[in-house]
Structures are given as structure tokens and as C-alpha cells.
Amino acid sequence: MRVLSVTSECAPLVKTGGLADVTGALPRALAIEGVQMRTLLPGYPAVMAALDENAVRIADFSDLFGGPARLLSGTAAGLDLLVIDAPHLFDRPGGPYIGPTGADWPDNPERFAALSWVGAYIAANGAAEWQPLILHGHDWQAGFMPEYLRQMGSADIRTVLTIHNIAFHGIVGPDRLASLRLDPARFHSGGFEYWGAISALKAGLIGADALTTVSPRYAEELMTAEFGIGFDGVMRSRREQLAGILNGIDTEIWNPATDPQISTYQKPQQKQANKAALRAEFGLPASDGPLCIIVSRMTHQKGLDLVLEVMPTLLAHGGQLALLGTGERDLELAFSALAEREANVAVRIGYDEGLSHRMMAGGDAILVPSRFEPCGLTQLYGLRYGTLPVVALTGGLADTVINASPAALARGVATGLQFSPVTAEAFRNAIVTMCNLYSDRNTWSKMQRNAMAQPVGWDQSARVYARLYERLAASE
């Protein structure tokens, strides 16, 4: 089973969030199921630098959305890659979507249309005697693939689109139809037109043979007006082609038994050593209360404003907070100011992969109060390291954490806490419950052991993806 994964980011080569972790882990997980997956990536500077010296040119494009380009085949970080070497599109400073000034690149529509177009080209024509049976695209950046396959006369090639976050639509005005190489006849409500504009995401939602999301609950939520963000009608119309497949994490990279970033083999009774080291790293004093951590983009979607509202309650119960993240400027400033006022709050603005591992190992609880969360990975990391998640009851957070309800505690199966609705008051109540549970050392230790025993890897979900590919291939 040959599958081409088409994505705008892939860990550890280029990462802005969970999408990269998923696309980086899937090829290894699927190999066990007999799936040969190659990953198509834009040739960002970091990707080009990571390619092995044996990378070979397998195709040339005289004009790829504004300039010449090459398609390279090689390996990096244990991944089989196809890389679009197009300096006019991808050889830039900054992140994959945003330049050094913090603004989106104005030609992002063309940059990622090129990614979709090359993915369709490989499926239609092959690449160095390798041709995928299935095209698996991720988010709006791969949304135009079904349209380009149609134009290439290869609409019978099967496609999958995974929605990691439906909030990002890939919107651009109809004046870009020509520059995006789109068929004007498809610019209508049954095609890629969306309220008078072009939507790359809608092109994928309408055109892909199968749609997946990153958790079962998020699949259900996307069919509602509250969470569908304008696409709930499209999602309901494609209910039969939609599947919620829970994300996993790379349990080799996130392995408390072998993690080089932490000081001890992680068992609940050994949490104290890592916690002491983490407090020292953040400059926090000793405390009898729980050390809570946050590793997150600092946005209102992630509920970081709610954290500010409940901090007095956490601190009053002897709790502490260590935060690592970057994002919306008002939240960065608010948390930095809080850390200056409160000795039991420490904040690092930015991202540090090694520090995130040490935080998972040393924290008692991880706070994830997202207003919506397609899957979430940080709560899975927390489970793996015995750092109990306190999460909003939404999306994948609802699917992966067993709430410490009286019934779950009585049965001895709880792995964290959930709260609903997503308000400061409900979150505050969960914080109080968490602090009370923490003071009961036997109950807390039992919850830690439960958390660390949860299956958070890719085994089950990889099997589901493999069966999906098989069904699609058989339907040709």
C-alpha cells in the first residue's frame, strides 16, 4: 500500500504545532501495518538543510507558480521524503506561514497551491518509478489536490483529507483564480467557492474521497454550527465519508523510561526528583501544593485567558504554575506581568522542545482549558508522564481523559479531570477539585499510575488508517 502524505510541516524538520507531530509519526506507525508512506514537504531552509547528501532530483518544473523548481527524493530524520525545491516560494526566513515581521506571507495561497499541485502531479505521473495509490493531504494547505487531479484527468486516484483544525480555511479572493491554476467553472457553491471567495479547505472537503478528523468527538462537533465554523453544512453533507481517528503520540520520543531530557526513570513515586529540578530551572520556590504546567500556544482558543482568571484560586490552594509558550501579545504580556508579581508563577515566552519534556516529567498536573480542541497532544504527553490533565470537555480532550468523577474514583479508573462548560467558574471548580485530590496522596498516586498505563500511541489508530486506505484502494 503506497501512500503519499502531503503536508506543510512535519516533525522534527519543521513544526508549529500538533500537525507536525502527527505527520512525523504516522509513517513509522503505518509501516507496521504494511503501508509505505512517503511525505511531500515544501523545501523550507530547515528541510533542505536536513536532506541527506544522497538526495536526487527526480523532476523539474519550469514554472511552478512563479518560478522554476525541482522535486527531490531523499531521507531525513528517518523519513522518506519528496521535497519541493522552489526557492522563490520556500527559501525564506521565519516560519512556514509567517515572516519575521509576524505577518502571513502574502503569497501563501500560491505557495501551498504549489504543494497541492505537486502532490497531484506525483499521484498522476509517479516519481522515479514510485506512484502512490492514495493521496493523504492535511488541512487547507493540501486542499486543492482533488481539483488538480480533476484537471490532470486523474480524478479516479483516491484522496484523503485530514482536518486537524477547521478554523483555518485557506481563503483568498476570486481574482487569484488564474494564479492558483483553478478552473473558473468550479467556482460555485458546489465547488471551492465560499461566500464569494476561494477556499482551499472547502475544495478538499468537497473533493476528497474520505475525510478524517483527529478525534471521534471532533468529527461530531464539526457537524454543529458552534464548532463547524461555517462548514457544518458541508460536513453534514459528507457524514458518510467522515471518520474521527484519534491522534497518538510517538511513544519512543515521549518515553519516560528512556527520555534523555529527564533525570530519573519516571514512576509516580519518583516524580519528586523531576519536580525539584523543574522548580529550580524555573526559579520557583518549594511548595506543598501541586505544580501545574502549561505547554501551549498562547491564544484565547486555548483558553489561556481563563487560566489568568483562575490563578488566584490555584495560588490560594498552594499551587504553582510553570508556563512555556508563545502567541497572542496581550496574553504574553499578562502572564509575564503575573510572573513578576507572583513568586509561584514562572513563564517562558518561546518554545523549547527539551524543556517541554522536562515539564511533562516534573509537573503534577497539566492545564488544557481549550474552548475547542480537535485532538490535543499535550494531554497525551501528560498522561504518558503521570502529569494529570485538567481539561475542558471538548474534542479529543473528552476522548482521552477519564474524569475523576465519584464513580470513576470508586472504580479506580480516573486519569485526570474534565470541566464543562468552558467557563472560568467551571474551570475554577476543577482547580479546587484537583488541589483536593492532590492532597490525598493515595488517590493521586493511583490516578498517576492509571494515566501512565493509558494507550496513547499510534497502534490502534494506525490500523484504522490502514483499513481506510485499503477500502479506498479497493473502490477504484
Residue 84 and residue 119 share a domain: yes
**What pLDDT is recorded for position 267?**
65
Residue 345 and residue 234 share a domain: no
253 falls within a domain: no
**What pLDDT is recorded for position 260?**
87
Q: How far apart are CA 146 and CA 160, in angstroms?
A: 9
To the nearest 10°, the Cα dihedral for 435, 440, 444, 446? -160
434 falls within a domain: yes
**What pLDDT is recorded for position 320?**
98
Residue 204 and residue 129 share a domain: yes
Residue 371 and residue 318 share a domain: yes
**What pLDDT is recorded for position 270?**
75
260 falls within a domain: no
C-alpha cell at 247: 491522534
Note whether 31 and 1 are within 8 A (CB): no
Residue 408 and residue 377 share a domain: yes
Residue 196 and residue 243 share a domain: yes
**What pLDDT is recorded for position 62?**
98
Binding residues for ADP-alpha-D-glucose: 15
256 falls within a domain: no
394 falls within a domain: yes
Which domain, by its residues, includes 240? 2-248+459-474
Return the residue matching grid coordinates 501551498: 112
Q: Chunked in runs of 10, what are the mean pLDDT values of the chain (476 residues)?
A: 97 91 94 97 97 94 98 96 98 93 94 98 94 97 98 94 96 97 97 97 98 97 96 97 96 90 68 92 97 96 98 98 96 98 97 94 97 96 97 98 98 98 98 98 96 95 97 88
Q: How far apart are the first and last CA of the chain?
A: 14
**What pLDDT is recorded for position 164?**
96
254 falls within a domain: no
Strand order in the sheet with 210-213: 56-61, 69-76, 79-85, 36-42, 2-6, 134-138, 158-163, 210-213, 242-244
Q: What CATH number does residue 62 fall under? A: 3.40.50.2000
Residue 42 and residue 98 share a domain: yes
Helical (H) or strand (E) element with 129:
none
Binding residues: 15
**What pLDDT is recorded for position 264?**
64
**What pLDDT is recorded for position 286?**
95
**What pLDDT is recorded for position 269?**
61
Number of domains into which the chain is organized: 2
Residue 400 and residue 276 share a domain: yes
Backbone angles phi, psi at 240, to 5 degrees: -70, -20
Residue 319 and residue 243 share a domain: no
79 falls within a domain: yes
Q: How far is CA 342 from the centre of its chain?
A: 32
169 falls within a domain: yes
**What pLDDT is recorded for position 266?**
63
Residue 192 and residue 334 share a domain: no
Residue 293 and residue 233 share a domain: no
CA distances from 456 to 328, 378, 380 (A): 30, 11, 6
In this prediction the pTM is 0.92
Note whether 228 and 181 are within 8 A (CB): no
Which of 190, 112, 106 is closest to 145 using CA atoms?
Answer: 112
Residue 347 and residue 239 share a domain: no
